[in-house]
Amino acid sequence: MKQILALFVFIVTVLSISLTPGLVMAEDASGALANYNNPHDICEYYRGIAMTIVRETDNECLVSIGEGELTVFTQIYYSGNEWCAKVSNQGQVYQSKCIARKTNTDWNTIYSVVGVMVVLFILIGIINSIGKNKTPTISPTTTSDSVETVAVSTVDEIEKLSKLKNKRIITQEEFDLAKKKLLK
């Protein structure tokens, strides 16, 4: 059982390590913009963290922080299939980045995740069934001593029932039913 558990841990570790580079690239490529579907949602985010909205259109959200010469503008916009962000101060752009905007479902990733889940469920099922397939151990045959013990206790119980019937605590029907259960 320990070998199987070790194999399971090894397989999960290998799968995790093999999927990590893809997850890191996805996080790097998406950044914060991937969490939003349109510039209005991004403006709502910036309102939530108390930044000033300078301009909001269907394609752009321009926000500012600070005052005077220290005012920093962040412009988030999309054009075609790209999200773009620019950070500027007094007309000078300090950072600019664009990432591809997902426009459809990535079925290959979904199929890969479902496949890994199916394999894990199968492995878990195999591990759970290993202990259940053992043949039961055969108990030693009953000895005459144990048969005598059972017979004596049954006789004792029937005698107790008979006394209850004689004292009219139980009826004849109740006595017969209890006796039948004891003799089975």
Q: What average pLDDT does this structure show over 67-71?
A: 81
**What DSSP string describes 101-143?**
PP-S--HHHHHHHHHHHHHHHHHHHHHHHHGGGSPPPPPPPPP
41-64: pLDDT as tens digits:
888 888 888 778 888 888 888 888
Q: How confident is the model at residue 97 (pLDDT cuts 50, 70, 90)?
A: confident
pLDDT at 41: 80
To the nearest 10 degrees (0 to 180), the angle between helices 172-183 and 144-166 is 170
pTM over 0.75: no
